[in-house]
Chain A
Amino acid sequence: MAGFLDNFRWPECECIDWSERRNAVASVVAGILFFTGWWIMIDAAVVYPKPEQLNHAFHTCGVFSTLAFFMINAVSNAQVRGDSYESGCLGRTGARVWLFIGFMLMFGSLIASMWILFGAYVTQRSLKYHRLISIRFWNTFIFHFSVVELGFRSGGTAQTWSF
């Protein structure tokens, strides 16, 4: 019973060689996700302008997600491992602390957006704002997907240094 999926393999697809283009594809997908998240937030702010419908403080989740996104992507894999030639302005430990703070901000804003979803909208049972519920949640969820995409990409960039 244990290990019954060990011999499972994805079906072979020889049509396109993705290895060269992986970074570009990941950048495109991350861009689509990130900016779609922002436009969903702008759309929600436009359709529900009153503070009792959408409290303007809820935008801080998106702002902190964006800040954390840029913080995480500013640090490359090589800096964190200490492989690069120059140590940068913070050194290896500084890069790790920076990354840690970035991830904390990111996950904190994800948790905050879920709290807003459940605390402000679902429990109030206000059926008018159903669309808003999905909007709030998908927004920050999308930001996180884009971080995952760019993390995938930075893993690819690090491979160029293997001589």
Chain B
Amino acid sequence: MYHSFLIHSSADGHLGCFHVLAIINNLGNLAFSLFVLLCFLHVQYWPLFVLFFYILSPIPYCIARRLVDDTDAMSNACKELAIFLTTGIVVSAFGLPIVFARAHLIEWGACALVLTGNTVIFATILGFFLVFGSNDDFSWQQW
């Protein structure tokens, strides 16, 4: 299955669309497996609360993009509010494990693993939006 992706990309001479998606998918899987491994190794399920922030993080930006169009000045305020909230969700996803570690609910090693997983997952989500999010109509032509 993968060689068809490679053929697609080498014909163009640059990274094809499927190739990028495969990379992103692999990164996301790596981060998530790191996360699950963490929970099983340390037998603490507190870090699973960070999943809540992972799910929430793309939502403000998606809502802002669907709701407003680019020509209005008010759309800038809406997009900036969305960026503000997204940044807040990302900061909270980093802050929650630190607060858990300081409250001695999880160990500092577990906290470090969660922070690493956070970094990878948010980089994955950001990469997804940078590559696939730039067109507004969300058409399926790119796929």
Contact = CB atoms under 8 A, between A and B. Distances in A.
Partners in one complex: yes
Given A157-B76, A160-B76, A32 B91 contact: yes
B55 interface: no
Given A27-B84, A35-B88, 5 more contacts: A35-B91, A36-B91, A36-B95, A43-B102, A46-B102
A13 B91 CA distance: 29
Interface residues of B, number: 19
Nearest to A158: B73
Interface in B106-123: none
B102 A161 contact: no
Contacts of A23: 76, 80
B87 A32 contact: yes
A117 to B, nearest CB: 21
A27 B99 contact: no
B9 interface: no
Nearest to A47: B102
Given A32-B87, A32-B91, A39 B77 contact: no
Nearest to A161: B73
Interface of A is mostly: helix
B83 interface: yes
B102 A157 contact: no
A101 B94 CA distance: 33
Interface of B is mostly: helix
Nearest to B99: A43
Interface of A: 23-24, 26-28, 30-32, 34-36, 39, 42-43, 46-47, 76, 150, 153, 157, 160-161
B103 A47 contact: yes
Given A31-B88, A35-B87, A46-B103, A157 B98 contact: no
Contact of B95 (A27, A39, A76): A39
A35 B86 CA distance: 11
Given A39-B99, A42-B99, A31 B91 contact: yes
Most buried by A among B76, B79, B84, B95: B84
Given A28-B83, A32-B87, A76 B77 contact: yes
13 contacts: A23-B80, A24-B79, A27-B80, A27-B83, A27-B87, A28-B87, A31-B83, A32-B87, A34-B84, A39-B98, A43-B102, A46-B102, A157-B80
A42 B79 CA distance: 28
B102 A35 contact: no
B125 interface: no
Contacts of B98: 39, 43
B92 interface: yes
Interface in B57-115: 73, 76-77, 79-81, 83-88, 91-92, 95, 98-99, 102-103
Given A157-B73, A161-B73, A30 B84 contact: yes
